[in-house]
């Protein structure tokens, strides 16, 4: 183990090279030196570039601050290559985190995809014109990342997240805080909200994937509570990202999307214990969603 980093809260975010994941990393490392954020990226080069961009962004913001007292980059960052659909990639990431940090304090299952369909009602560069994916194809392309990928990453990293209870194993250094497992879901995954017939977004494959993910969260919360792990299903809100496509109209959801730092702030509140009264629930910025 290169560095036990007992004075740090070690956070791994999957899919942190853009959108919500990048913003979570940004908010955490600009809040406190206690955070070490491992930015997961399925593409090594994109991960490296994202870390570099984030460090530059915060350094530049520090120098343009009229009252520069200290750097806005307070925490530390690193990257790991991690494709949630590839067990060998996840295993290699587990080895990296084990060898480098020896434990994990916060796992954010953020990586996700939206595969557009013609009738989805989500502003997207391809859904209105070229996409002709059938529902079956959309499900086949969505579930491996949004559901199986989350289950794979959670199962693989659980031994690093769960505090050791074995008398025979050497006691790890005490953690700063209880471990958190966060599944980034969507309000579109709520079965209760989906009953509202006036709600025009169809996105059936995406919604089914997030409903399934919500069930994983309910089950994980029950099992992991006994080990002191706090589990949340988290809707990050409608925020700017590449999820719906890379052109401006899609990124901003036709102008309706908020800055993803709103999502980063929500995750910060959760890992700082401010939402602990909602452990095991489906939370969003302003409260709790019905499952
Ligand atoms: N933006 C919103 O309004 C909104 C609302 C509700 C929920 N969400 C959820 O928020 C999460 C983040 O999405 P986002 O909006 O930030 O979109 P995004 O900018 O497209 O980010 C998605 C991230 O997931 C990564 N990813 C995709 N497949 C992967 C795989 N197989 N292995 C590892 N990483 C993979 C992407 O990597 P690449 O860059 O390589 O593609 C990217 O880094 C998703 O779970 C999404 O469902 C977003």
Asked if pLDDT for residue 24 goes beyond 60, the answer is yes
Asked if pLDDT for residue 244 goes beyond 70, the answer is yes
Q: Determine the number of helices (DSSP H) and then strands (DSSP E) in the chain.
A: 9, 8
Predicted pLDDT at 120? 75
Q: Is 3 part of a structural domain of the chain?
A: no
Predicted pLDDT at 121? 65
Is the C-beta atom of 145 inside 6 A of ligand 1? yes
Predicted pLDDT at 64? 76
Q: Is 72 part of a structural domain of the chain?
A: yes
Contacts of 65-73 with CB under 8 Å at 24 or more apart are: 72/30, 73/29, 73/30
Asked if pLDDT for residue 75 goes beyond 60, the answer is yes
Q: Is 265 part of a structural domain of the chain?
A: yes
Is the C-beta atom of 141 inside 6 A of ligand 1? no
Predicted pLDDT at 142? 98
Q: Is 1 part of a structural domain of the chain?
A: no
Q: Is 171 part of a structural domain of the chain?
A: yes
Predicted pLDDT at 129? 45
- pLDDT confidence band for 170 (50 / 70 / 90): low
Percent of the chain surpassing pLDDT 70: 89
Is the C-beta atom of 115 inside 6 A of ligand 1? no
Is the C-beta atom of 75 inside 6 A of ligand 1? no
Asked if pLDDT for residue 174 goes beyond 50, the answer is yes
Q: Which residue has the tokens 């995954």?
A: 189
107 Cβ contact list (under 8 Å, min separation 6)? 11, 12, 153, 154, 157, 161, 179, 180, 181, 182
Count of beta carbons in the 10 Å neighbourhood of residue 146: 28
CATH of the domain at 64: 3.40.50.720
Pocket test for ligand 1, best of 216, 217, 241, 245 (most atoms within 8 A of CB): 241
| Vertex 87: Cα angle to 156 and 237 (nearest 5) | 70
Radius of gyration of the chain measured on its C-alpha atoms: 19
Q: Is 62 part of a structural domain of the chain?
A: yes
Give the mean pLDDT of 38-53: 98
- pLDDT confidence band for 70 (50 / 70 / 90): confident
Token pair listed for 181: 């497992």
Number of domains observed in the structure of the chain: 1
The overall average pLDDT reported for the chain is 91
The domain containing residue 181 runs over which residues?
9-288
Closest to 12 in 3D by CA, of 115, 156, 142, 126: 156
Asked if pLDDT for residue 176 goes beyond 70, the answer is no
Give the mean pLDDT of 76-93: 98
How far apart, in whole angstroms, are the C-alpha atoms of residue 54 and residue 64?
Answer: 15
Is the C-beta atom of 236 inside 6 A of ligand 1? yes
pLDDT in tens, 200-212: 789 999 999 999 9
pLDDT in tens, 256-265: 999 999 999 9
- pLDDT confidence band for 177 (50 / 70 / 90): confident
Token pair listed for 207: 């919604």
How far apart, in whole angstroms, are the C-alpha atoms of residue 8 and residue 74?
Answer: 12
Q: Is 202 part of a structural domain of the chain?
A: yes
| Vertex 107: Cα angle to 190 and 156 (nearest 5) | 100
How far apart, in whole angstroms, are the C-alpha atoms of residue 11 and residue 161?
Answer: 10
Spacing, Cα 8 to ligand 1 middle (Å):
26
237 Cβ contact list (under 8 Å, min separation 6)? 258, 262, 263, 266, 284, 285
pLDDT in tens, 90-125: 999 999 999 999 999 999 999 999 999 877 767 665
Beta strands in 186-249 (DSSP E): 230-234
Asked if pLDDT for residue 58 goes beyond 90, the answer is yes
- pLDDT confidence band for 2 (50 / 70 / 90): very low
- pLDDT confidence band for 19 (50 / 70 / 90): very high
Using CA atoms, how far residue 153 sits from 132, 157, 177, in Å, is: 31, 6, 21
Asked if pLDDT for residue 221 goes beyond 50, the answer is yes
Which 8-state DSSP code applies to residue 30? T
Spacing, Cα 96 to ligand 1 middle (Å):
22
Pocket test for ligand 1, best of 19, 44, 79 (most atoms within 8 A of CB): 19
Closest to 271 in 3D by CA, of 28, 52, 74, 97: 28
Of 108-112, 138-142, 172-176, the poorest mean pLDDT is in 172-176
């Amino acid at each position: 183990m290169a560095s036990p980093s007992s004075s740090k809260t070690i956070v791994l975010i999957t899919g942190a090279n853009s959108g919500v994941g990048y913003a979570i990393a940004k908010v955490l490392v600009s809040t406190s030196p206690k955070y070490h954020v491992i930015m997961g990226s399925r593409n090594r080069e994109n991960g490296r570039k994202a870390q570099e961009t984030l460090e530059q962004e915060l350094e530049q913001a520090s120098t343009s601050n009229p009252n520069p007292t200290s750097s806005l980059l307070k925490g530390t960052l690193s990257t790991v290559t991690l494709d949630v659909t590839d067990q060998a990639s996840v295993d290699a990431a587990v080895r990296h985190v084990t060898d480098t940090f020896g434990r994990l304090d916060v796992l954010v299952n953020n990586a996700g995809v939206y595969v557009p369909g013609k009738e989805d009602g989500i502003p997207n560069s391809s859904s209105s014109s070229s996409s002709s994916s059938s529902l079956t194809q959309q499900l086949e392309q969505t579930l491996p990342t949004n559901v199986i990928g989350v289950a794979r990453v959670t199962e693989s990293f659980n031994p690093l997240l769960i505090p050791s209870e074995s008398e025979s194993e050497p006691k790890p250094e005490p953690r700063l805080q209880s471990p958190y497992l966060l599944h980034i879901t969507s309000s579109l995954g709520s079965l209760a909200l989906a009953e509202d017939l006036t709600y025009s977004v169809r996105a059936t494959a995406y919604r089914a994937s997030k409903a399934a993910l919500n069930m994983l969260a309910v089950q994980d919360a029950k099992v992991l509570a006994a080990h002191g792990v706090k589990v949340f299903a988290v809707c990050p809100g409608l925020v700017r990202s590449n999820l719906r496509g890379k052109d401006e109209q899609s990124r901003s959801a036709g102008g309706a999307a908020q800055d993803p730092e709103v999502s980063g702030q929500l995750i910060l509140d959760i890992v700082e214990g401010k939402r602990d009264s909602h452990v095991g629930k489906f939370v969003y910025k302003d409260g709790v969603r019905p499952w």
